[in-house]
Amino acid sequence: EVQLLESGGGLVQPGGSLRLSCAASGFTFSSCVMSWVRQAPGKGLEWVSGISGSGDTTHFADSVKGRFTISRDNSKNMLYLQMNSLRAEDTALYYCAKGCTPGGYWYFDLWGRGTLVTVSS
């Protein structure tokens, strides 16, 4: 079965760090671009970060640039998001999403169910 399963969310204090993981299965992971997309409580979707299939190229939203790092381990079919200097506004449900698309375009044909990150003292 093709699926994405996020983990690593939890409650963290402002200024703290957290590492999210996404386990991929059922497809050729290294062929797909991957992204993290978040949804704050009561809000819409916000793209956070993306990484190419090889891991050579990464992109970040301005709101997380310099604080978050995205990486992948193609030997383990795993995607990661290292989140440092967390703020209250980073509180959200974080989704892992894949894009195995003709032409390598950055839209997402499969999403996970998300992992919740709460930043609060």
Tokens 């993306």 sit on residue: 50
**Please, which of residues 62-121 interact with another protein by CB under 8 A?**
62, 95, 97, 101, 105-114
- Please, which residue, 78 or 110, has the CB nearer to another protein? 110
Q: How far is the CB of 85 from another protein (least distance, A)?
A: 19
* Stretch of 10-18, 23-31, 40-48, 70-78 contacting another protein, by CB under 8 A: 40-48
Per CB under 8 A, residues contacting another protein are 35, 37, 44-47, 50, 59-62, 95, 97, 101, 105-114
